[in-house]
Structure 1
C-alpha cells in the first residue's frame, strides 16, 4: 500500500489479507472511529476480490467532501463486472454487500471509464 496527497490514496492488490489493513489505514486517516466508512471500503474491496478476481490492482481513495461527508472510491480494471444489488435470503452467505453499502452510505454509484470502473460512496462526516 502507498498513501499520497491530502486525501488518502492507496494502491494495493485486492486480496483478503489487505482488507483489515485497509480498514486500519482508513481509521488512522480519519483520526478515529469510522465504522460506516470502514464497512464501505471492506464491502467494495470484497466485491472486487469476488467478482473481478483476487489479486486485481485497485486504487482506493478516501477524502472529505465540501458538505462534510466522507467520499470513498475504489477503482479497478473490471469495467464489465458491475455491482448488482441482490436480495439475500436468511441462510445466504453472500449477497448483502451492496445492501449494506446502501444502508450506511448517503449515496453510492458506479462510474465507468475505458477499461476500468470506480465504485464510490459518500458517508456522513464524523
Structure 2
C-alpha cells in the first residue's frame, strides 16, 4: 500500500467465538477517505454483510475526518466490528475540538449532507471523546444474524 495513504493495517484473526473486527490507519486526504470506503467494502463482503448502508456511512465519516478532522501529520482510524447483530463503524480523528453537527439541508448547497445521510442510514450514531486530541464518530447498523 502507498505509505502516504495507509500507514498500517491491522486485522485480527477471527477465531470461533471472537468478534470480527478490522482496523486501518489512513491519511486524512480524499485519497485516504476513498481507500477507507474501498477497504470497508471488501471487509464487509468477506464477512458476508450487506454493503449499501455501511459503505455510504464509511464514505461520509471518512470524508468528514479527511475534511474537518484533518491535522497535518496525523492519520485517522477506521474500525469495523460486529457484536451479535450489530455492525459498528468508528472513525477516529485528531480534531476532538471540532464536533460533527447535522446541518439544515440547503437545496442549493454543494455540501453539508453527510451526517444527514448517516442519520438516515444508521440505526444509531454519535460521537465519543477520546484521549486528547481525539474523537470518534460512530454509527451502528443492525445486520442479519446469519453471516
Establish whether TM, by shorter chain, passes 0.5.
Answer: yes
Q: Secondary structure at the match of 2:10?
A: coil
In 2, Cα distance between equivalents of 1:4 and 1:124: 22
Aligned pair 1:4/2:11, yes or no?
yes
In 2, Cα distance between equivalents of 1:27 and 1:106: 19
Q: Which has the larger radius of gyration?
A: 2
The alignment's TM-score, normalised by the length of structure 1, stands at 0.89
1:65: how far off? 2.1
In 1, Cα distance between equivalents of 2:54 and 2:88: 9
- The alignment's C-alpha RMSD in Å is 1.7
Deviations 1:33-67, CA, capped at 9 Å, x for gaps: 5011111111111112221226541111001122x
Of the three residues 14, 23, 36, the one matched with 2:37 is: 23
Aligned pair 1:53/2:60, yes or no?
no
In 2, Cα distance between equivalents of 1:20 and 1:52: 15
Aligned pair 1:101/2:118, yes or no?
yes
* Alignment gaps of 5+ in structure 2: 1-5, 13-19
Q: How many residues are paired up?
A: 125
Runs of 4+ in 1 over 3 A off after TM superposition: none
The alignment's TM-score, normalised by the length of structure 2, stands at 0.77
Deviations 1:63-107, CA, capped at 9 Å, x for gaps: 1122x1211001111110100010121111111111100000000
In 1, Cα distance between equivalents of 2:81 and 2:131: 24
Q: Secondary structure at the match of 1:63?
A: strand
